[in-house]
Amino acid sequence: MKRRVTKAIFPVAGLGTRFLPATKSVPKEIMTLVDRPLIQYAIDEARAAGIKEFIFVTSRGKSALEDYFDMAPHLESELRKKDKTELLDVLKSTNMDSGAIAYIRQQRALGLGHAVWCARRLVHNEPFAVILPDDVIAAEKPCLQQMVEAYEETGGSMVAAMEVPADKASSYGVIDIKEDFGSMVSVKGLVEKPKPEEAPSNLAVIGRYILSPKIMQNLNKMKTGSGGEVQLTDAIDAELQNDRDVFGFRFRGQRFDCGSKAGFLQATVAFGLAREELKEEFGGYLNELMSMRQAAQ
């Protein structure tokens, strides 16, 4: 049986306080890496993985996100008049099919698990993906596509996984490994933001998930966990108590934590250097900067 995943949830309700004052009026997900908003990277990754329905869990002050996915007829006609076909193509590539996007409001910030649960009625009884747009992953084959392919073999629920330095594990959901198969591990337990001495491993959950619809039932209990919030990690862990499989998938690619300023800057440099039209000028500038810094030491 083919297990098809066609729906993805994008939790985008967060206030983005780490990026104040920018996020006072601009949703964090609209902040740009080079010239594309963070959310566009997430959408493109979902599309590559075969996702057809895009569910955004938003909150007050996120209307710029909805506008971003609307058609821009005025802009398009101006570009057409001026024969700017390349820019027109760039713009068109961001258009979404009518009816492909749904917006749900998370009225209170009760945690990632609660945000995902808010989309339960749109998910029905199908497996679904969750993408956290803060985690940007540069990869030859997009991360979610790698996961969808692996999931066709395994079923169950699957989280993206990556080894992190041991002293950083307490910033993540952490995997207690049952069996290690290399690119895949079977999971014995999951702990959200464990105390350093209690982390079961340094294999961290990264913001890509393929989840069984049963997760929504687990979330119905609204059990609070780390930080007093309803944690998605706990709802996935509950699958194991019900004897259902959970896998960790070590994706091939480089992950940037765009929820932090340093991570965002690193991603900006990496994506800038990866651009054909920028790499000479921008790369040259970075080299110059490095030699100036070295000379000053």
* Residue closer to ligand G1P, measured from CB, 112 or 238: 112
Structure tokens at 182: 């290399």
Binding mask 166-185 for ligand G1P (x = CB under 6 A): ------xx------------
Nearest distance in Å: CB 200, ligand G1P:
13
Separation between Cα atoms, residue 48 and residue 63, nearest integer Å: 26
* Residue closer to ligand G1P, measured from CB, 3 or 188: 188
Structure tokens at 220: 């119905």
User: Can you count the helices (H) and strands (E) in the chain?
Assistant: 11, 13
* Residue closer to ligand G1P, measured from CB, 79 or 170: 170
Separation between Cα atoms, residue 29 and residue 62, nearest integer Å: 9
* Contact call for residue 218 and ligand G1P (CB under 6 A): no
- Residues 90-149 binding ligand G1P (CB under 6 A) are 112, 132, 135
Adjacent-strand bridge partners of 58: 105
Nearest distance in Å: CB 278, ligand G1P:
27
The answer to whether residues 258 and 136 touch, using CB atoms and an 8 Å cutoff, is yes
* Contact call for residue 204 and ligand G1P (CB under 6 A): yes
* Residue closer to ligand G1P, measured from CB, 79 or 114: 114
Separation between Cα atoms, residue 185 and residue 290, nearest integer Å: 40
Nearest distance in Å: CB 92, ligand G1P:
31
Phi, psi of 78 (to 5 degrees): -65, -45
Nearest distance in Å: CB 76, ligand G1P:
35
* Residue closer to ligand G1P, measured from CB, 173 or 248: 173
Q: At CA 233, angle to CA 255 and CA 119, rounded to 5? A: 95
Separation between Cα atoms, residue 185 and residue 176, nearest integer Å: 10
The answer to whether residues 202 and 171 touch, using CB atoms and an 8 Å cutoff, is no
Sole binder of ligand G1P in the list 49, 233, 249, 267 (CB under 6 A): 233
Nearest distance in Å: CB 254, ligand G1P:
14
* Residue closer to ligand G1P, measured from CB, 123 or 162: 162
Best CA proximity match to 139, nearest among 263, 45, 273, 259: 45
List contacts with ligand G1P (CB under 6 A). Answer: 112, 132, 135, 172-173, 192, 204-207, 232-233, 259
